[in-house]
Chain A
Amino acid sequence: MTIHSDPYAESRETTEGRVYSVTGGDWDSLATEIGATKEERVVVNMGPQHPSTHGVLRIILELEGETVTEVRCGIGYLHTGIEKNTEYRSWTQGVTFVTRMDYLAPIFNETAYCLSVEKLLGITDDIPERASVIRVLMMELNRISSHMVALGTGALELGALSPMIFAFRDRELVLDLFEQISGLRMNMAYIRPGGVAQDIPAGSIKKIRETVDQLRINFKDNEKLLVGNTIWMKRTQNIGYLDLAGCTTLGITGPVLRSTGLPWDLRKTQPYCGYENYEFDVITTDSADVYGRFLIRMKELEQSLRIVEQACDKLEKLEGQPVMVADKKIAWPSQLSVGADGMGNSLAHIREIMGESMESLIHHFKLVTEGFRVPAGQAYVAVESPRGETGVHVVSDGGTRPYRVHFREPSFNNLQSTSAMCEGSMIADVIGAIASIDPVMGGVDR
């Protein structure tokens, strides 16, 4: 007997046993029906489209009552073949592709890719300081916006709605900065091999400083809501436990690794983009649980703000310096500018190539259509993204296109720990554990 019938809910016999389709809102009727069967073991398919699966992720759970005995992840729903696509475009165009992998941390994908291309070109030391500082500035702003989604959706999935509202409000402030600086809120293709696409527009530093002050005030809202909150702590403490040995064998990096107490942060241990010149702390906890990871993300926000402020100070000192490598054979021929419809060639550059200099036009044409050649070889570069080590392995055969681009995505790797974190726990804790890994499916599937 069903009280309210759902047209999509049904149950049918298969060779594997009885299969129930559950769409939500029909739990009562199905619970009665399942309770009547003799089967103790239930296999639940959570996802791939489910509000608490953190993206298009399918979780296959084997249950004994409410206890999870086995967890497997089904991934690949967002596979777009980005790595293959880059092999058919120039090295610079690759940025536009890789920025779309982990769509919550586009700047990190771009930076890691560009650093690897620069390493192949052997121009790592020639990157202007101003470009490196802008990269750091953008990365740390991006870390804030990414952590905001991790905290907001993580709380939302555990049933806390208000933190999500506050987190997305604050993320919006950071995205506004991205829009002002690069013309786009996400997937900016702003970091380019050799530097950045364009200098930050006039007045940006002032706006960034205002936003930093505002964010400091705003962060307190979520802190007051969650830190020390009894319900939140009961849902997150001692949940999703994974110790240091588990992390090293599974190759886990980022906040999950730091929640075991190991201060491993590539910004400190293997600095890039001049991170050694900034003052910040590596946040760790030793609880190795969901609450610890939550606290780490919460406190990393403040550290990112510190780095952003230091980057602003540096930018003020480096005013007017170049943001693209001096080598004209590699540097993008023009400085771009943000127009009403996004980023494009600056009018001054159009005037030069179309009206004044034939050589400039040829140079522009060659670099834009054909691109630059990268000497044969391979390189691996890793950066500390909000989720852990984003590693890029690039191979060149000496041509104007990548021979192979491979992203070692932290989300992809860390999602493997789902089984280790969840097996033996209650089904309700699976959600919290996966949220604490913070997987972004665009990065997992690429």
Chain B
Amino acid sequence: MSEEKGSFGVHGTGDTSGYSGLVRTQVSPGSSERPFGGYFDDVADDLERAFPAFSEAIEKIVVDRGELTLYVKRTHLFDTAMALRNIETLRFEMCMGVNGVHYPEESGRELHAVYALLSLTHNRRIRLEVAVPDSDPHIPSLVEVWGGINWHERESYDMFGIIFDGHPGLTRILMPDDWQGHPQRKDYPLGGIPIEYKGATTPPPSERRSYR
């Protein structure tokens, strides 16, 4: 997932801790094997049975920390969402929203869209995740499946630049209309102004020496 070098987040010669040779590699949880446990097996089985394109649509299934994540290909996202909503044994009639996550290290899958689904009927939650490259950030819109995702998709567009194809009005929602860039991306600096107090200056948070 990412790699950290040294201590205190200092690069170059600033690290006096003697730990500059330290390298830590972080790995995200990998794909899970059946049985998943709990209702996750039922969800996966029911979806597989009633949804013919299951094996092509689902890239991997991750069960981690008691939560089920289906990694869906964007080409099959709309159909998967429809199936999850409509199949009687699944009935995820509510989508609690979508939000982006930017992983600049994952080349070809930099932008992730994460959907939180809720089934009132069966009292279950699952998560859908779609990964797209930075160079082609298009994901089909799910407004036709869950109307309430409208503003959430606009927010993800605003903050990450993910383009939801088929959205009825994909405009910025939180930032001003003429804003440049997408603030929640990792390559977008936090910004801020230095703090001055009695002649001394503290740089803005993203430029401070940080203890990572």
> Which residues of A are interface residues toward B (Cβ below 8 A)?
75-76, 79, 81, 83-85, 87-90, 119-120, 122, 248-252, 262, 264, 269-270, 369-371, 376-380, 382, 389, 391, 393, 395, 397-401, 403-404, 406, 408, 412-413, 415-416, 445-446
Report yes or no: B125 in contact with A380, Cβ–Cβ below 8 A.
yes
Measured between beta carbons, the chain B residues less than 8 angstroms from A415 are: 151
Measured between beta carbons, the chain B residues less than 8 angstroms from A262 are: 120
Q: What are the nearest 4 A-B pairs in CB distance?
A: A251-B148, A398-B26, A370-B211, A250-B148
Measured between beta carbons, the chain A residues less than 8 angstroms from B172 are: 76
Does B131 interact with chain A (Cβ within 8 Å)? no
Report yes or no: A398 in contact with B1, Cβ–Cβ below 8 A.
yes
Report yes or no: B148 in contact with A408, Cβ–Cβ below 8 A.
no
Q: Given the complex of chains A and B, what is the CA–CA distance between A262 and B120 in angstroms?
A: 10
Report yes or no: A401 in contact with B212, Cβ–Cβ below 8 A.
yes
Report yes or no: A75 in contact with B173, Cβ–Cβ below 8 A.
yes
Report yes or no: B114 in contact with A445, Cβ–Cβ below 8 A.
no
Report yes or no: A264 in contact with B116, Cβ–Cβ below 8 A.
no
Report yes or no: A403 in contact with B94, Cβ–Cβ below 8 A.
no
- In the complex, which residue of chain B has the Cβ closest to the Cβ of A410? B96
Report yes or no: A76 in contact with B26, Cβ–Cβ below 8 A.
no
Q: Given the complex of chains A and B, what is the CA–CA distance between A165 and B8 in angstroms?
A: 52
Report yes or no: B150 in contact with A416, Cβ–Cβ below 8 A.
yes
Measured between beta carbons, the chain A residues less than 8 angstroms from B155 are: 412
- Could you tell me the distance in whole angstroms from the C-beta of A74 to the nearest C-beta in chain B? 9
Does B123 interact with chain A (Cβ within 8 Å)? yes
Measured between beta carbons, the chain A residues less than 8 angstroms from B88 are: none
Q: Given the complex of chains A and B, what is the CA–CA distance between A408 and B8 in angstroms?
A: 32
Q: Which of the listed residues B95, B118, B205 has the most CB atoms from chain A within 10 Å of its own CB? A: B118
For window 17-70 of chain B, which residues contact chain A by CB distance below 8 Å? 24, 26-29, 64-67, 69
Q: Given the complex of chains A and B, what is the CA–CA distance between A30 and B94 in angstroms?
A: 45
Contact string against A for B residues 108-129, beta-carbon threshold 8 Å, 1 for contact and 0 otherwise: 0000001010101001010100
Does B199 interact with chain A (Cβ within 8 Å)? no
Report yes or no: A119 in contact with B99, Cβ–Cβ below 8 A.
no
For window 184-202 of chain B, which residues contact chain A by CB distance below 8 Å? 184, 190
A-B contact pairs, 21 of them (CB 8 A): A76-B173, A84-B184, A89-B205, A122-B65, A251-B146, A262-B120, A270-B125, A370-B8, A376-B29, A378-B127, A379-B65, A380-B67, A389-B96, A391-B116, A393-B116, A398-B26, A399-B2, A400-B212, A404-B101, A404-B102, A413-B96
Measured between beta carbons, the chain B residues less than 8 angstroms from A403 are: 101
Report yes or no: A397 in contact with B67, Cβ–Cβ below 8 A.
no
Interface residue from A85, A250, A270, A370 paired with B205 (Cβ < 8 Å):
A85
- In the complex, which residue of chain B has the Cβ closest to the Cβ of A407? B99
Measured between beta carbons, the chain B residues less than 8 angstroms from A251 are: 94-97, 146, 148-149
- Could you tell me the distance in whole angstroms from the C-beta of A136 to the nearest C-beta in chain B? 21
Report yes or no: A408 in contact with B120, Cβ–Cβ below 8 A.
no
Report yes or no: A379 in contact with B67, Cβ–Cβ below 8 A.
yes
Q: Given the complex of chains A and B, what is the CA–CA distance between A377 and B125 in angstroms?
A: 17
Report yes or no: B176 in contact with A391, Cβ–Cβ below 8 A.
no
Measured between beta carbons, the chain A residues less than 8 angstroms from B206 are: 88
Report yes or no: B27 in contact with A76, Cβ–Cβ below 8 A.
no
- Could you tell me the distance in whole angstroms from the C-beta of B158 to the nearest C-beta in chain A? 9
- Could you tell me the distance in whole angstroms from the C-beta of B48 to the nearest C-beta in chain A? 23
For window 121-146 of chain B, which residues contact chain A by CB distance below 8 Å? 123, 125, 127, 146
Does B147 interact with chain A (Cβ within 8 Å)? yes
Report yes or no: B97 in contact with A408, Cβ–Cβ below 8 A.
yes
Q: Given the complex of chains A and B, what is the CA–CA distance between A35 and B148 in angstroms?
A: 38
- Could you tell me the distance in whole angstroms from the C-beta of A369 to the nearest C-beta in chain B? 5
Interface residue from B65, B116, B148 paired with A416 (Cβ < 8 Å):
B148
Report yes or no: A249 in contact with B211, Cβ–Cβ below 8 A.
no
- Could you tell me the distance in whole angstroms from the C-beta of A336 to the nearest C-beta in chain B? 21
Q: Given the complex of chains A and B, what is the CA–CA distance between A266 and B95 in angstroms?
A: 15
Report yes or no: A391 in contact with B65, Cβ–Cβ below 8 A.
no
Does B15 interact with chain A (Cβ within 8 Å)? no
Report yes or no: A408 in contact with B96, Cβ–Cβ below 8 A.
yes
A250-B148, A251-B148, A252-B148 given as contacts; is B28 within 8 A of A377 (CB)?
yes
A251-B97, A376-B26, A397-B2 given as contacts; is B123 within 8 A of A83 (CB)?
no
Report yes or no: A76 in contact with B65, Cβ–Cβ below 8 A.
no
Measured between beta carbons, the chain B residues less than 8 angstroms from A83 are: 184
Report yes or no: B174 in contact with A445, Cβ–Cβ below 8 A.
yes
A377-B64, A382-B96 given as contacts; is B190 within 8 A of A398 (CB)?
no
- Could you tell me the distance in whole angstroms from the C-beta of A403 to the nearest C-beta in chain B? 7
Measured between beta carbons, the chain A residues less than 8 angstroms from B95 are: 251
Q: Given the complex of chains A and B, what is the CA–CA distance between A344 and B95 in angstroms?
A: 41
- Could you tell me the distance in whole angstroms from the C-beta of A196 to the nearest C-beta in chain B? 23
Does B4 interact with chain A (Cβ within 8 Å)? yes
Q: Given the complex of chains A and B, what is the CA–CA distance between A351 and B123 in angstroms?
A: 51
A416-B148, A416-B151 given as contacts; is B96 within 8 A of A391 (CB)?
yes
Interface residue from B2, B26, B97, B123 paired with A269 (Cβ < 8 Å):
B123
Does B175 interact with chain A (Cβ within 8 Å)? yes
Report yes or no: B146 in contact with A249, Cβ–Cβ below 8 A.
yes
- In the complex, which residue of chain B has the Cβ closest to the Cβ of A401? B212
- In the complex, which residue of chain B has the Cβ closest to the Cβ of A445? B174
Q: Given the complex of chains A and B, what is the CA–CA distance between A406 and B206 in angstroms?
A: 19
- Could you tell me the distance in whole angstroms from the C-beta of B129 to the nearest C-beta in chain A? 9
Interface residue from A399, A404, A445 paired with B4 (Cβ < 8 Å):
A399
- In the complex, which residue of chain A has the Cβ closest to the Cβ of B155? A412
Report yes or no: A398 in contact with B65, Cβ–Cβ below 8 A.
no
